[in-house]
Amino acid sequence: MPDRELRFRVFRHNPFDPESTPRMVQFQLTETPRMTLFTALTRIREELEPSLQFDIVCRAAVCGSCAILVNGKPRLACRTRIETLPNDITLMPLPFFKLVADLSVDTGQWFRDMGTRVQSWINAREPFDPNAEEARMSNETAAEIYELDRCIECGCCVAACGAAQMNPEYLGAAGMLRIARFLADPRDGRPEAAVFDVVSTEEGIFGCIGLAACEDYCPKDLPLTSRLAYLRRKTALLALRKSSQVEESTVADGYA
């Protein structure tokens, strides 16, 4: 099969340049075997337009920096094979995040702010003792935490989320996953009231409108919708406890 001629329509704009206006610019490349979107963007920058800005670091779906909208869908450029795309490819920066320039957005600031809001660290019950024995946990618990820790903070879930586009304060699936990760950790001693205050809001679990696009477009296949459901159940449980309608032991409190 002859190599295809690919037509890229690429968003260009530098918000820090008063002369710049948002526009789409066309580039043409010949497809090569096993070409990825990372390869294509690098060739465009090296051969056609040296000023094109986009983010690439690890090239291995680990750092999360290369997420862009590919024909309207959030994807990692480094793990998107060109052979899975049509000849005409439109590239836009991720929505929701602050535009740096062209295809580059600042996901870092949002993830830092989100981490502060959800207290993305172990809230230890005791002061740290460097001489104490290492805290133990079961293999099952460790595996569960590891699964929830696989988020690479690429922003695809938030970019795909209709609720996030309407509410910039929404914590998104990435934020909820982070909360679920610490709730699963036996070393974490944060009070339930603190969890309730963050989760049971329009910026938290009640901001989700259930479209489930977060999970559809998560490049790491994280269990986002089941954790959202878990937090919804957890919130209901905490609300019941708060209003003292049930005893702590009468409501199932688990992932099932």
Contact set with ligand FES (CB under 6 A)? 56-59, 61-66, 76, 78
Comparing CB distances to ligand FES, the nearer of 56 and 137 is 56
**What is the nearest approach in angstroms of ligand FES to the Cβ of residue 184?**
25
- Which residues lie closer than 8 Å to 66 by C-beta, 6 or more apart? 38, 54, 55, 56, 57, 59, 76, 77, 78, 154
Between 60 and 193, whose beta carbon lies closer to ligand FES? 60
Contact in structure between 144 and 96 (CB atoms under 8 Å): no
Helix (H, G, I), strand (E, B) or coil at 124: strand
Give the shortest CB-150-to-ligand FES separation in angstroms: 13
Q: How far is the CB of 59 from ligand FES (least distance, A)?
A: 5
**39 vs 65, beta carbon nearer ligand FES:** 65
- CA neighbor of 206 nearest in space, from 219, 217, 197, 216: 197
CB contact at 8 A, 163 and 209: yes
Region of 61 on the Ramachandran plot (φ > 0 left; ψ -120 to 50 alpha; else beta): left
Least distance from ligand FES to the Cβ atom of residue 190, Å: 30
Q: Which is nearer to ligand FES, 42 or 120 (CB)?
A: 42
CA-to-CA separations, 33 to 7, 167, 187, 204, in angstroms, rounded = 17, 42, 49, 44
Q: Shortest distance, CB of residue 13 to ligand FES, whole angstroms?
A: 22
- The residue among 61 and 212 lying less far from ligand FES, judged by its C-beta, is 61
